[in-house]
Amino acid sequence: MSTLATLQSPAVVFREDQNFDWRVYTLCGLLQIGVVLGCAQGRAWSVELAVAIAGGLTVGAFLMGFLLHMTTEASPDVIRVWFGWVPIYRRMISISSIRQVEVVTFRPIADYGFWGVGWGRNGERAFFARGNQGVRITMIDGSRLLIGSQRPSALATAIEHAMQPGG
């Protein structure tokens, strides 16, 4: 077997790209407006103030455009979840470490506090960008992980298939 063959990643059997819930974008926009108004309050307009405001709006737009995106991929040996077009946060879950998979409905704010990476009251780790459906994964060590999905049945099926011997 060649060295090149060992560097190739396995085929992806499931992929989903999700933008965040509209409320997250609205909140970010309102925060940007607040920053602009806070910078401008009581100050005379100047080049420095205009540059500061433009810079703040640019950074905010960049963060909203490049970070507020979640990708989930499942291959025969691993599940990958990452946030951002350029992955800022990445999590990999080995298929061999999974004991059980189930499709669930959850309450994003009530159960996990907000969208993105969160922790439930029971210690469950969660990754989700929008909606209220996902796949709960119970690991062999008993820990649990929730991956939000707009296609939870397809994600669960891909994981279950990979868990089968020869999957």
Of 3-17, 34-48, 67-81, give the lowest mean pLDDT range: 3-17
Q: Dihedral angle at the C-alpha atoms of 146, 152, 155, 159, nearest 10 degrees?
A: 60
Q: What is the pLDDT of residue 84?
A: 83
- Which residues lie closer than 8 Å to 39 by C-beta, 6 or more apart? 49, 52, 53, 56
Please say whether the beta carbons of 91 and 81 come within 8 A. yes
Q: Dihedral angle at the C-alpha atoms of 154, 160, 165, 167, nearest 10 degrees?
A: 20
* pLDDT score of 99 more than 60: yes
Q: What is the pLDDT of residue 123?
A: 86
**Mean pLDDT of all residues in the chain?**
83
Q: What is the pLDDT of residue 114?
A: 81
* pLDDT score of 5 more than 70: no
* pLDDT score of 48 more than 50: yes
Burial zone of 139 (CB within 10 Å; 0-12 exposed, 13-18 middle, 19+ buried)? middle
Question: Please, where are the H alpha helices in the chain?
Answer: 3-7, 22-40, 47-66, 108-112, 152-163
Average pLDDT of span 64-86: 87
